[in-house]
Amino acid sequence: MTSKIKLTKTTVERLAPVEGKQLVFWDTDIVGFGVRVSPGGSRAFFYQGRLKGKLKKITIGKLGRITAEQARKDAKRIQSMMELGQDPSPKDATNKIEPTFGDLMSAYVELLEQQGKLSASNVKNQIARDIEKAFPKLWAAPVSKIQLEDCMQIVGKLKDEGKPRQADKIRSYIRTAFSEAINARGDVNMPASMRRLKITYNPARDMRKVKGSSNAKDRALSLAEFRAYWRRVKALPEPHRSLAMLHVLTGGQRQQQLARVTLADIDRDGPSMRILDYKGRRTEPRIHVIPLLPEALEAIDRITGGGQYVFSCDGGKTPIHNAFLNDIVKRIRAEMEKAEELENGPFTAGSIRATVETRLIAKPYRVSSDVLAHLLSHGMGTVQRKHYQHHAFADEKLESLEMLYRMVEGKSEPGAKVIEMRARA
């Protein structure tokens, strides 16, 4: 007896055995992928296809020893190998199918998910688009055969297409995936999918950073440009106006972090806003607290509604996407260029963050680098800051944001004020 269903954990576990009969169920998505249900109730996954014109069946494994998701991945790998004319059969009973480059990158995504990285889903989509779909032969190739030239082919394609930032992201994912797989050989905390790869060499180790991948962040607006930008922000319709204002009034925080902020993160008595900083290799987020000016609170009141998210354009039901602020900046930049208000060329939403730091550290504000590091949540990984410096700089951060507001409003600074570092708690 045969039938077609999508073979997932839930559907396979629900398959009931029939006394005296072996049942076969085929997957609706992967042609050739199936599961056999014996009269005794055991379920065995297999793949059946043609290799060089001959029908060939490969047993993948029994449910319990292998999950339905792992079986699907193995079925895809076997399918790819047979399409390339490669025999996926093990040479002997103890020799399993050699892991592929795709197995490595999938295990890397699983590691990010295990670590609770909110970027895991986005990384998975990028890897699927720029590696799996763009280079199916490399994806199905044995990971032990991957060389530097193969990695360069993937990254080079994106660079040649005029996507230096995306090219560098993929370079970083590949390089880190190999590095983590090497570390996994001695780390039982790693996912099993990563440990069983048994990788000892990182072919992407010598890949250099892609030039032009971070040029936009180096652009800081002049004081005149920054004030012109602020004037145009205040002239926007809602909710664009309040969202862009809040981005500036909180110091140009990272857009991905702002999108996670909910009303539960707003302390109106403080007043302050809590941001969970997942940047880097943190498994637990660092709590980053931003003081809120009265003008920032007013902006929050204008954009929030019945939903939970603060940075939202639909009353808090869903958070804004990075493209939302980027589109706002593009429109304002075009208006500034038309009005001849640009002095140093194009800029992006990320440039606002660089502008805040560049302008506040200069005269007449002279905010210290330590205060700016706490305000913008960066450079916090040194031994001194991690283990010995526990002062939160709350007052200093508030004073810096007050200076920022006076700056964009074009108000004079009351004297050449220097923010002194407070004694450490």
Concatenated DSSP letters for 30-83?
STTEEEEE-TTS-EEEEEEEEETTEEEEEEEEEBTTB-HHHHHHHHHHHHHHHH
In terms of Cβ atoms closer than 10 Å to its own Cβ (0-12, 13-18, 19+), residue 218 is exposed
2-83 and 216-409 agree in CATH topology = no
Report the amino acid identity of residue 183: N
Coil vs helix vs strand at 385: helix
Domain 216-409 has what CATH class?
A: mainly alpha
Q: What is the pLDDT of residues 108-146, one digit of tens each?
A: 999 988 887 778 888 999 999 999 999 999 998 999 899
pLDDT lower than 50: segments of the chain: 92-95, 216, 381-390, 418, 421, 423-425
CATH superfamily membership of 2-83: Integrase, DNA-binding domain (3.30.160.390)
User: Do residues 105 and 146 lie in contact, with contact meaning Cβ atoms separated by under 8 Å?
Assistant: no
Residue 205 structure tokens: 């180790």
* pLDDT for res 121: 86
Q: Which residues pair with 46 in a beta bridge?
A: 34, 59
Q: CA 304 to CA 69: how far, in whole Å?
A: 40
User: Hey, where are the domains in the chain?
Assistant: 2-83, 101-213, 216-409
The bridge status of strand 54-62 relative to strand 272-277 is unpaired
* pLDDT for res 288: 86
Chosen CATH of 101-213 out of 1.10.150, 1.10.3470, 2.60.120, 1.10.287: 1.10.150
The structure tokens 């000892």 sit at 200
